[in-house]
Amino acid sequence: MTHKPTHAARGAAAQGAQKTLTGELRFLLAGLAALGALATNIILPTFPDMAVALGTSVIDLSATLSSFFVAFAVGQLFVGPLSDRFGRRWLVLAGLATFVVGSAICAVASTLPQFIGGRVVQALGACATSVLSRAVARDLFDGEALARALSLIMVAMAAAPGFSPMLGGAFNSGLGWQSTFTFVGVMAVVLAIYYNARLGETHPTDRRSAISVPSILKTYWQLLTDRRFIAPALAVSLVIGSLYTFFGMAPAILMEGFHFSPFGLAIFFASTVFVVFGAGFLAPRLAHRWGQARAARLGLVIALAGSIALLAGKEDAVFFSAALTVFLLGMGMVNPLGTAIALHPFGRQAGAASALLGFLQMGCAAIAISVGALLHVPAYTALGIILTSSLTLAFAAFLALRQA
């Protein structure tokens, strides 16, 4: 008589044997990481039609973005420690189920408050999948293999905001704005079924940690005061904050300054994915040759060079694209390598470390975007100032790792 392996046994087998990025694992990690970004950017082209349906204005709909990011940031701080105590599987499945519920609320909403409530529920589900994609990668991989897995996650998170506006526009034109929420909800269901059937638990019971409010606070404090974590984590977060600032300011720069059409803007965002993809392909290979820290420093230098060129150069569409390409190339190298360096020493607390890293990234993004909005200069100049300042601070933070 044969017996099917339990989820725990299957997860234990994965922990012991999964040392290469199979096609199944690529799909799962990429899908879990990109779900939140996909759900955010896919709705941007639908804002005019959505505003009419909800009886509000496009400007008021911006509250849906800020509410999503706040819930996303705070929720991560709870998901990480819970997964370290109870395992990844149930937190992943609960996060995906919560995301589906939030998507359904958004699809049937008839008022702005209802819609914002749905977006908050969506964010609480998506934050779990984002945090746990990194934690699962840390469960299964180490060293160069971890860097390759995180490169895949980074590419997926860059591809989602790059391509999703075009996808959202197509859904909106053919089926209406509600169809975008149906699509992302179906994606979450597919991920849940696939995850439960193919991967299951990756955090074995002998590596789980006790949980209580004092222990959670102690874990976070230890991470914040450990230079091995905070130096690379802060560097990566400042770089990601710069990237979100670019996404926030690019429409004003390209559409108002350089007179891009909405379709031209969507094509521009999509083209950035290929730069980040190339960087994600390059990063683990440079890390294999030079080591992760040295390759990450090179990425910081490249990103900083692009930022300085943007700030000092002329306000021209071609020059803007060239300088931004250099920035994105460096950013695409720093993100996976810096994340791998930050998570590597903390396998037992991978959930909490990933959660704190995600919180720092969202915090830096919020600060950078807010500062950019307060600067009384043209959007092009403001972006150059934010990128140059953030990359300078990121480089200084990463150098502190050498003294750890």
Residues 330-362: pLDDT tens digits?
A: 998 898 888 888 888 887 777 788 888 888 988
Cα 40 to Cα 186: distance, rounded to the nearest angstrom: 15
In the prediction, which pLDDT does 234 show? 93
For the ranges 7-11, 99-103, 131-135, the one whose mean pLDDT is highest: 99-103
In the prediction, which pLDDT does 4 show? 47
**CB 280, CB 147: distance < 8 Å:** no
Same domain, 106 and 217: no
pLDDT value at 16 more than 60? no
Q: Examine residue 315 and state whether it is found in any structural domain, yes or no.
A: yes
Q: Examine residue 377 and state whether it is found in any structural domain, yes or no.
A: yes
Count how many residues are written for the chain: 404
> Which of 152, 176, 209 is where one domain is finished?
209
**CB 263, CB 271: distance < 8 Å:** no
Same domain, 271 and 180: no
**CB 275, CB 328: distance < 8 Å:** yes
Same domain, 202 and 223: no
Mean pLDDT, the chain, integer: 81
- Token readout for 312 is 């000092």
Closest to 15 (Cα-Cα) out of 77, 63, 71, 87: 87
In the prediction, which pLDDT does 9 show? 44
Same domain, 401 and 252: yes
Q: Examine residue 173 and state whether it is found in any structural domain, yes or no.
A: yes
Top-confidence residue, 249 or 92: 92
pLDDT in tens, 46-65: 777 888 888 887 667 766 67
Q: Examine residue 304 and state whether it is found in any structural domain, yes or no.
A: yes
pTM assigned to the model? 0.74
pLDDT in tens, 278-312: 887 788 788 888 888 899 999 999 999 999 999 98
- Provide the sign of the torsion angle of the four alpha carbons 266, 272, 278, 283, taken in this order: negative
In the prediction, which pLDDT does 18 show? 47
Structurally, the chain folds into a number of domains equal to: 2
Same domain, 97 and 38: yes
In the prediction, which pLDDT does 145 show? 77
Q: Examine residue 151 and state whether it is found in any structural domain, yes or no.
A: no
3-class secondary structure per residue, the chain: CCCCCCHHHHHHHHHHHCCCCCHHHHHHHHHHHHHHHHHHHCCHHHHHHHHHHHCCCCCCCHHHHHHHHHHHHHHHHHHHHHHHHHCCHHHHHHHHHHHHHHHHHHHHCCCHHHHHHHHHHHHHHHHHHHHHHHHHHHHHCCHHHHHHHHHHHHHHHHHHHHHHHHHHHHHHHHHCCHHHHHHHHHHHHHHHHHHHHHCCCCCCHHHCCCCCHHHHHHHHHHHHCCHHHHHHHHHHHHHHHHHHHHHHHHHHHHHHHCCCCHHHHHHHHHHHHHHHHHHHHHHHHHHHHHCHHHHHHHHHHHHHHHHHHHHHCCCCHHHHHHHHHHHHHHHHHHHHHHHHHHHCCCCCCHHHHHHHHHHHHHHHHHHHHHHHHHCCCCHHHHHHHHHHHHHHHHHHHHHHHHHC
In the prediction, which pLDDT does 250 show? 75
Same domain, 348 and 278: yes
- Token readout for 228 is 């091995």
Same domain, 191 and 246: no
Burial of 280 (0-12, 13-18, 19+ CB in 10 A): buried
Cα 253 to Cα 246: distance, rounded to the nearest angstrom: 10
Same domain, 273 and 349: yes
In the prediction, which pLDDT does 373 show? 73
Q: Examine residue 110 and state whether it is found in any structural domain, yes or no.
A: yes
Q: At 8, is the pLDDT very low, low, confident or very high (cuts 50, 70, 90)?
A: very low
Which range is least confidently modeled, 15-19, 172-176, 281-285? 15-19
Top-confidence residue, 16 or 274: 274
Closest to 392 (Cα-Cα) out of 332, 305, 320, 323: 305
Cα 356 to Cα 344: distance, rounded to the nearest angstrom: 14
- Token readout for 74 is 């705070």
Same domain, 199 and 276: no
Q: What's the domain range around 221?
A: 212-404
Q: Examine residue 155 and state whether it is found in any structural domain, yes or no.
A: no
CATH of residue 221: 1.20.1250.20
Same domain, 263 and 170: no
Top-confidence residue, 237 or 247: 237
Same domain, 187 and 300: no
Same domain, 259 and 381: yes
- Token readout for 363 is 């915090």
Percentage of residues in the chain having pLDDT higher than 70: 89
- Provide the sign of the torsion angle of the four alpha carbons 234, 227, 337, 191, taken in this order: negative
